[in-house]
Amino acid sequence: MSAPGAPTRTPAPTGSLPGTGTRTGAGTLAGLSAGEAAFRHQVRELLADDSVRRLAEEIAAYPPGVEAAHLDVRRRLGERGWLAPNWPEEYGGSGLGAAEAAIVTEEMTRAGIPDDVHVLSIDIVGRFLLEVGTEEQKKRHLPPLAAGEEIATVLFTEPEAGSDLSGLRTTARPDGDGWRLYGRKIYNMKSLYGEVALCAARTTDSPVAMHGITLFLLPLRSPGVHVEPVPAMCNDRFNLVVMDGVRLTGADVVGEVDDGWRLMTELLQLERTGIDFHAKARRLLDLVIERAAAGGRLDDPAYALPIAALDARLNAGHAMAWEQVRRLGAGRPDPVSSAMAKWYVSEQIRPVLETGLEVGGLDGVLTAWDGGAPDGGLLEAGIRLGPSHRLASGTSEVMLYLIATNGLGLL
């Protein structure tokens, strides 16, 4: 289904500015091995299917407040062990590496498949379970996540605790051999659709804010869990999750009791390669380049030079993000360079969108559901989503703080 008047084609990054060579990470920039390049080819081929193109168009034309959740295309990747290719086969993966995981992220974005469920279920919750989950938790949750059959979400942010999670107030009060959970979590995504959420709560009172925090796997359909949508300007909604005496037991603890702060700080940085943010910016820039080429604007230096500069900056961001992927693959992630990559790639979305408006004029702010928008309103959707790049997965200011303190020894 497409919005009335929407074009039938989802733009794919096919064009190339003269002299820039491969732009979308198809091989050269990422320095892929032959096996990795073959894997990219296979994933790209699967996602080139007409049904995937139609699904991407349909999702792009959803009216505000309607969001994508379980998707057949994720299941099709899951059937082959490609949704979480870096997970062991026994948990539904393919036993491949961080590079293949990055390739799947890039190719899904390139095909117009939203990445929120993937980031939450595979990159965050799945990683936490792989690293510190019990065997029972892994066996129960990882296979359906890797198959694209279940969704796991993340409940960290609270009304008064965002960048500084040590301010969280959600409390797990002792109750017999377990706990009762009370609190409010905001700005979380997909909680209406998820089976479980990774939830951070205070288990022990301590004068040190970072102490006494525990991670739980919270079954989202338990009595006492209330999920309310919070409207947002991007297509997907946020949620407020209220937990009112939800019963949890020792089997729901992820890692050790009171060890949540360490796990969050150590494991969240592993999510921060910047690959996802780069892929979204690249998809939009490729669209802008296509439009500029179609309008004859690449012959005009007033358009061509800033576009070439932006293209170069995105290529630099791509290289930085892939450096993090390689570090992850080698088991030596670095919080400072990953903060640099996340900061740099997420800052590129704004100039991409500004350039898009300069190239396309006011057509660029037509929405998919108004009809008649070029490219299914992709640029307009990007304008509404763009600011979130600087906020999600750690804000730009927090990344700069990490670089200044841990990297440069300032402050």
DSSP 8-state symbol, 1 = -
Query: Can you tell me whether residue 73 is helix, strand or coil?
Result: helix
Rounded CA separation 176/44 (Å):
52
Looking at the Cβ atoms of 160 and 300, the one nearer to ligand FAD is 160
Min dist CB 325 to ligand FAD, Å, is 21
User: From the list 187, 216, 261, 344, which residue makes contact with ligand FAD (rule: CB under 6 A)?
Assistant: 187
Could you write out the DSSP letters of every residue in 319-356? HHHHHHHHHHHTT---HHHHHHHHHHHHHTHHHHHHHH
User: From the list 62, 156, 179, 182, which residue makes contact with ligand FAD (rule: CB under 6 A)?
Assistant: 156
163 touches ligand FAD by CB under 6 A? yes
Which alpha helices (H) appear in 61-92, and where do they start and end? 72-79
Looking at the Cβ atoms of 324 and 393, the one nearer to ligand FAD is 393
Q: Using CB atoms, what's the residue nearest to ligand FAD?
A: 162
Min dist CB 243 to ligand FAD, Å, is 13
Rounded CA separation 186/230 (Å):
8
Instruction: Show the CA angle centred on residue 353, arms to residues 351 and 358, nearest 5°.
Output: 90
Q: Name the nearest CA neighbour of 73 among 45, 52, 104, 94.
A: 52
395 touches ligand FAD by CB under 6 A? yes
401 touches ligand FAD by CB under 6 A? yes
Inter-residue contact 68 to 52 (CB < 8 Å) = no
Min dist CB 267 to ligand FAD, Å, is 14
Looking at the Cβ atoms of 163 and 249, the one nearer to ligand FAD is 163
193 touches ligand FAD by CB under 6 A? no
Place of tokens 């309607």: 66
Looking at the Cβ atoms of 16 and 395, the one nearer to ligand FAD is 395
Could you write out the DSSP letters of every residue in 262-310? HHHHHHHHHH-SSHHHHHHHHHHHHHHHHHHHHTTGGGSHHHHHHHHHH
DSSP 8-state symbol, 233 = S
Looking at the Cβ atoms of 187 and 369, the one nearer to ligand FAD is 187
Produce one character per residue of 263-291: b if its CB has 16 or more CB atoms within 10 Å, e if not. bbeebbbbbbbbbbbbbbbbbbbbbbbbb
Min dist CB 113 to ligand FAD, Å, is 16
Q: Which stretch binds ligand FAD (CB under 6 A): 154-162, 205-213, 255-263, 333-341?
A: 154-162
Number of residues that bind ligand FAD (CB under 6 A): 18
Inter-residue contact 213 to 260 (CB < 8 Å) = yes
User: From the list 105, 109, 121, 188, which residue makes contact with ligand FAD (rule: CB under 6 A)?
Assistant: 188
Contact characters 239-278, ligand FAD, x per CB under 6 A: ----------------------------------------
Rounded CA separation 205/333 (Å):
32
Min dist CB 258 to ligand FAD, Å, is 20
Looking at the Cβ atoms of 182 and 303, the one nearer to ligand FAD is 182
Cβ-based neighbour number of residue 48 at 10 Å: 12
162 touches ligand FAD by CB under 6 A? yes
Looking at the Cβ atoms of 293 and 391, the one nearer to ligand FAD is 391
Rounded CA separation 168/260 (Å):
12
Q: Which stretch binds ligand FAD (CB under 6 A): 41-49, 129-137, 183-191, 339-347?
A: 183-191
Interface of this chain with ligand FAD, residues 96 to 135, rule: CB under 6 A: 120
Q: Which stretch binds ligand FAD (CB under 6 A): 25-33, 45-53, 182-190, 215-223?
A: 182-190
Q: Name the nearest CA neighbour of 279 among 385, 375, 360, 405.
A: 385
User: From the list 30, 154, 217, 241, which residue makes contact with ligand FAD (rule: CB under 6 A)?
Assistant: 154
User: From the list 77, 155, 264, 378, which residue makes contact with ligand FAD (rule: CB under 6 A)?
Assistant: 155
User: What is the contact surface with ligand FAD in residues (CB under 6 A)?
Assistant: 120, 153-157, 162-163, 187-189, 388, 391-392, 395, 397-398, 401
